[in-house]
Structure 1
Amino acid sequence: MTATVDLNADMGEGYGAWRMGDDAALLGIVTSANVACGFHAGDWDVMAETMRRAVAQDVGIGAHPGFPDLHGFGRRRMTIPTGSLQNLVRYQIGAAQAMARAAGGALRHVKLHGALANMAAEDEALARACYEAALSVAPDLIVMVLARSAQERAAEAIGCPIACEIFADRAYNDDATLVDRSQPGAVIHEPELAGRRMAEMVREGAIITRSGKRIPTRIDTICLHGDTPAAVAIAAEVRRALVAEGIGLAKFGG
C-alpha cells in the first residue's frame, strides 16, 4: 500500500471578472495546485492571487499549460507545428515561474491541460516535445503524467522526475484510458463514490476500470477537478476517505 499520496487540483482558471471554481476552499484540501497560465484560462492577476494563496497554504505550485483557446477552455484539439508548440509551452512555463517567484514560492511541477494533455496521453512524441520544452526553461521540474499513458512513457524516456496521476472523478476504460466525457458515467459526481474508489485504488496500487479490471500502476497523486459543482465536496470526501484508510497526504517528491 502506498504510504502517502498527493492531492492536486487545477486552479486559477478564472479570467478578468469571470470566476471558475472555489480555489480558496480547494487550497485547504489539496497538497498541489496546477495553475492555468493564461492561454486556456487565467490571467496575470488570477495567477498572482492563486499562487499567493498556494504559498500561504504551503501547497506545491505547478504550471498548467494548454492550447491558446480561452473560448473553448483548452478542450478543443489543435494542430500546431512542433517547434511552435514547444515555444507555446516555454512561454507559459516562463510566466508561471515568474509569478510563483513573485509570490514568494517556486514552480515545482508541470501538468498539461485539456486537449493538449489528451493528445499527449495518446502520442509519445508529442508528449516528449512538450516535456522537453518545459524542462528547457526549468530543468528541475517534476513532470506530472497520466499513469499508464504515453505521457508516462515519454517522461521515462527523457529520464526526468515524474509524478504518476489518477483521476478521482473520471471512469477508466480497460486500456487505462479515461472514458470519453460524452459517454454515460464518464464523470463521477458522487463524493462518496469518488472517495471510496480512490482509497481502493491507492490501497491496491492499481487503476480500477469501470468493468472492475485492476491495472497495476504507480500512484503519486490524485487529480481533483475544481470546475464542477460538486468539486469541493468530492475533494473533501476523497481526503477524508484516504485519511480513514491510514494513507498520508503530502506533496509528491518526483
Structure 2
Amino acid sequence: MIAHRPRAALLAVLFLLTGCGGGAAASPGPAAAPARPGTPPAPTATVRAAPARIPGLGPSTWARVPGTAGQVVVVTGRGRDSPLSTVVLYRRTPDGWQPGPAWPAHNALRGWSAHHTGGDLRSPLGVFTLSDAGGRRPDPGTRLPYHRSRGFTPHGTGFEGESLEGSFDYVVAIDYNRRPGTSPLDWTRPLGARRGGGIWFHVDHGGPTHGCVSLGEAPMKDLLRALDPALHPVVVMGDHAFLAR
C-alpha cells in the first residue's frame, strides 16, 4: 500500500540516461556543440531519496525503535493535552523509510502520559510492538493473529455523547501492559492492574478515547491489511514534542 516513488523516479532517470535498451549499445548521434564561455551548466536531474530516519522522530525516540522493525506506525499528537492526532504507517525499503497516507485520529481525552495509569484518560507515550488483532466483525484480511468475538462490543456513549456502536468492529492491540500473542481481550497485566491496559487501535467514534488511538473504519481496515508480523511492526506514539526529542 506504500508507493516507492523515489525508486520509480530513479528508474525513470536511468531509462532516460541509457535509452530503451537499459544500457545496450546505441548508435552515436551528432556530437554536442561545445558550450560557449560563460554559459551556465545545464541542470541535472535530482532524485529525492527516502529518509534514513522517520521524519519527526528525534534521536532519543529513534533509539527506542528496534533495529528489526520493518514497519513503524507513528501516532503524532497535536499537543501534550490534546485528544487529536495523526497516524502514518512507514515501511522500511532499500531506499529508506516510505510513508503511507496520513490518517486523522483521536487519542485519549486528556492527551498523553509518560506514566499511564488506569482511568487517567491519557494515552501512554512510547514505543510498543503490535502483535495481535481482533474485532466483532470478520477478519478483513490481516496477517496478524485475529480473534473474532462478541466480546468486542462497547457500551454507553463517548465523552461528547456520541454512540460507541461499531468502535470495536476492528482492533489492533498495542502491546502496552499486555501479554503479546494473546487476544486483545486478554486481561493479563504484567505491570499490574493499576497501570491500565486494553490500549488498542480501534474504529473512531467521533470523539476522544479513554486511552486508545482511533481511526476511521476504512483506515483501520487498511492498517490491518498492511501490518505484517514478518516485518516486526511497532507503534511510536506521543505528542509531537515528545516524539521530536
Tell me the TM-score normalized by structure 2.
0.25
Greater radius of gyration (CA) = 2
Q: Please report the TM-score for the alignment, with normalisation by the length of structure 1.
A: 0.24
Specify which structure has the higher proportion of helix: 1
